[in-house]
């Protein structure tokens, strides 16, 4: 009987404390509520990359990858996110075939490097994972020519930093 009365007393104290705590606690400001003056990642789309140009980028990335002793999958998509060219290096990870294409597609469709999504998740902004066709892993880079996105390149098979390093070689070939 004493235990029962003690339990009721403790429960009553807990219930009284909850509303007081809830009233004093101010929720943190949501950084997503900030309205920027300019639209981020507002680079216009241009004419799609050609097959010949895509192959040049892939050849450069494959050469860099071989120089480093790595094996990668490399994808180039056009400005609409459609696959234009692809290379699967010998002994590269099979799962990375689709991942390289996903990285390229995401970079083209969202007009930003996939590292932006990785950074968002690392900083707790997991809302980006609710967006269609997003991959939050570096190694996808938009290809910008004359100020317009002509496509994107995606690399996968190593660590994120390895993927991004060789991918940048291809992206740097576009002026």
User: Residue by residue, what is the 3-state secondary structure of the chain?
Assistant: CHHHHHHHHHHHHHHHHHHHHHHHCCCCCCHHHCCCCCCCCCCCECCCCCHHHHHHHHHHHHHHHHHHCCCCEEEEEECCCCEEEEEECCCCCCHHHHHHHHHHHHHHHHCCCCHHHHHHHHCCCHHHHHCCCCCCCCCEEEEEECCEEEEEEEEECCCHHHHHHHHHHHHCCCC
Residue 168: predicted pLDDT: 98
What residues does 49 pair with on adjacent strands? none
Residue 175: predicted pLDDT: 82
CB-count burial class (<10 Å; 0-12, 13-18, 19+) for 71: middle
Other CB atoms within 10 A of residue 76 CB: 29
pLDDT tens, position by position, 41-61: 889 999 999 999 999 999 999
Q: Domain 1-175 belongs to what topology? A: Beta-Lactamase (3.30.450)
- Mean local confidence (pLDDT), 110-116: 97
Residue 20: predicted pLDDT: 47
pLDDT tens, position by position, 72-100: 999 999 999 999 999 999 999 999 999 99
Q: What is the mean pLDDT of the chain?
A: 89
**143 in Cβ contact with 174 (< 8 Å):** yes
pLDDT category of residue 107 using cuts at 50, 70 and 90: very high
**CA 163 – CA 168 distance, rounded (Å):** 9
pLDDT category of residue 26 using cuts at 50, 70 and 90: confident
- Give pTM, 2 decimals: 0.80
Residue 1: predicted pLDDT: 54
């Amino acid at each position: 009987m004493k235990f029962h009365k003690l339990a009721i007393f403790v429960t009553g104290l807990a219930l009284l404390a909850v509303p007081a705590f809830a009233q004093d606690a101010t929720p943190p400001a949501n950084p997503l509520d900030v309205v920027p003056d300019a639209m981020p990642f507002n680079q216009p789309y241009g004419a799609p990359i050609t097959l010949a140009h895509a192959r040049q980028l892939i050849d450069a990335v494959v050469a860099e990858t071989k120089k480093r002793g790595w094996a990668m999958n490399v994808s180039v998509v056009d400005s609409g996110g459609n696959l234009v060219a692809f290379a699967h290096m010998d002994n590269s990870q099979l799962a990375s075939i689709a991942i390289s294409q996903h990285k390229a597609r995401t970079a083209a469709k969202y007009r930003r490097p996939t590292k932006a999504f990785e950074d968002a998740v690392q900083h707790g902004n997991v809302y980006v994972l609710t967006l269609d066709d997003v991959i939050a892993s570096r190694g996808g880079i938009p290809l910008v020519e004359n100020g317009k996105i002509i496509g994107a390149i995606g690399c996968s098979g190593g660590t994120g930093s390895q993927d991004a390093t060789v991918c940048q070689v291809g992206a740097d070939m576009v002026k």
